[in-house]
Amino acid sequence: MRPNKRDELVRNALQVFYRDGFHATGMDKLVAETGVSKTSMYKHFRTKEELIVAALQLRDENFRTWFYQRIDALGQTPAKKLLASFDALAEWFQEDGYRGCMFIKAGAEYQDKDHPIHVQAAEHKRLLLEYFTDLARAAGAADPEKLGCQILILKEGAIVSAVLLKSCDPARDAKDAALTLLKGALPGWEKA
């Protein structure tokens, strides 16, 4: 099925927002880079913020689909899938144009917790936390909520470090820390 103009606009705007940021990207830049006229853009979105929310929704769907598929391919058990999440991150960090997490950026640029952009960014992180917690529960963790939260914190730290630090290997280092957590949280973790 041929994508409609709205979908095409959201996909193209997503690339511009990821590359240049949200506040730094004005409507004139979006018009120039997406090839969509201002009239057409405003036909689909009343404000730039509505377009940002749509772009974040698309990014959430695309990223989680890719991330979960890579984890499933790299890990055979729930515990090994928790560790495999860092192998998937390592792949992402090596991609051309890697610029960190769009949701961390959105949360930083739109800090009002009730702002729709902040809400969308927080929802992405909540869904990832739920995913890690479900894996921790399936692995038999005594406190799956805590382990899920710890894995998410390591993931988020690795993402930021991959952008800002050149002196470490964030995905590998976070995976090593996750292994230590798993050994403490899951007796016989290798079988979990």
Is residue 171 one of the residues assigned to a domain? yes
Q: Would you say the pTM of this structure is higher than 0.75?
A: yes
**Structural element, H or E, at residue 144:** helix 144-164
Is residue 32 one of the residues assigned to a domain? no
Is residue 149 one of the residues assigned to a domain? yes
3-state SS, one letter per residue, for 52-95: HHHHHHHHHHHHHHHHHHHHHHHCCCHHHHHHHHHHHHHHHHCC
CATH value at residue 130: 1.10.357.10
pLDDT reading at 1 higher than 70: no
Is residue 36 one of the residues assigned to a domain? no
pLDDT at residue 3 in the model: 63
Average pLDDT over residues 40-62: 94
- Domain span at residue 143? 53-191
Q: What percent of the chain has pLDDT over 70?
A: 96
pLDDT at residue 34 in the model: 87
Domain total in the chain:
1
